[in-house]
Amino acid sequence: RVGLLVNTYFYSGRLQWNTEWRLHHNFRQYGPPGGGWEVQLSSGLLLGLGESSLPERRPFWGPALGNFAYRHALAYAVHYYGDQIGTSQFGGSLAWQAGRFQLQLENDLLAPGSHFDRYRTGAFRFSWRERDLLAELRAVLWTGDPKDGRAKTVRQTDYPCRWGYKDLSACRYGRYSHGVLAVQAQYYLGKGQVAQAGLGLDAEPIRHFFQNKLIHDLWFVPAGWNKARNPHFPMLDIDGNPFLFLVDQELRPALAYWHLALNDGGSY
């Protein structure tokens, strides 16, 4: 992708407000093949905690990442993604910054009024900072739209799950999905410029673990407490159908993931 980024921040005492605007053209993107123009708008509010001064500067910041003089911070941000392929949506992020470490969770369900669990459905980033270098482990999940009226919910099944599964193959972009797990480094070049490089895998078992086993099954929550009972969005086979561990069914192969960028700090 290629495009423009404009961002700014304001702070007063322990509060910092960050906002950014991105406009770019995607040559490739998550979901269906092809590209097109996309706009991303993000705004976040951070609350500084702990010590009120730090000895070194913090060159990395974003909607949910602060660069003000507090060792710890809590943050919440709202994102809007507008594109030309029909996957425009809102998302939300929660983040905890503790000294040199930060954990950020993004999900479309964290945005006000958003209850769709579709497209840019979830991401997390765990990062560590040392002066002009920021290293991170990130996961990015992407699925089709389970709420377009064509999904089939199956509760009684031999497929290994806690609450059944949804067949998204007839849904909008239901035959596409991504589960990226990657390591990435960011380096501050000076004058507000940040270079990024990352390497990882895009594989259905990655999405299956984070989205289905961890988030939807909620195995660590007693069954009586879990009122949502979210079904799995199964892994996809080579034809884009749900992979149900059937005889002769072939799982979609994993793909290598790589990322080289300048000033591209978002999850999506």
Domain boundaries, the chain: 2-262
- The per-residue pLDDT string of the chain (268 residues; one tens digit each, 9 = 90 and over) reads 999 999 999 989 899 999 999 999 999 899 999 889 999 999 999 999 988 766 566 788 899 988 888 889 999 999 999 999 999 999 999 999 998 999 999 999 899 877 788 999 999 999 999 989 999 999 999 999 999 999 999 999 999 999 999 999 999 999 999 999 999 999 999 988 999 999 999 999 999 999 999 999 998 888 888 888 999 999 999 999 999 999 999 999 999 999 999 998 889 9
210 within 8 A of 125, measured Cβ to Cβ: no
| Global confidence as pTM | 0.94
What whole-number percentage of the chain has pLDDT above 70? 98
User: Which pLDDT belongs to residue 115?
Assistant: 74
pLDDT tens sequence across 49-69: 988 766 566 788 899 988 888
Q: Concatenated DSSP letters for 152-218?
A: EEE-S-SSS-SS-EEE-TTSTTTT--EEEEEEEEEEEEETTEEEEEEEEEE-HHHHIIIIIIIIIS-
Q: How far is CA 52 from CA 55, 70, 71, 82, 102, in A?
A: 10, 5, 7, 38, 18
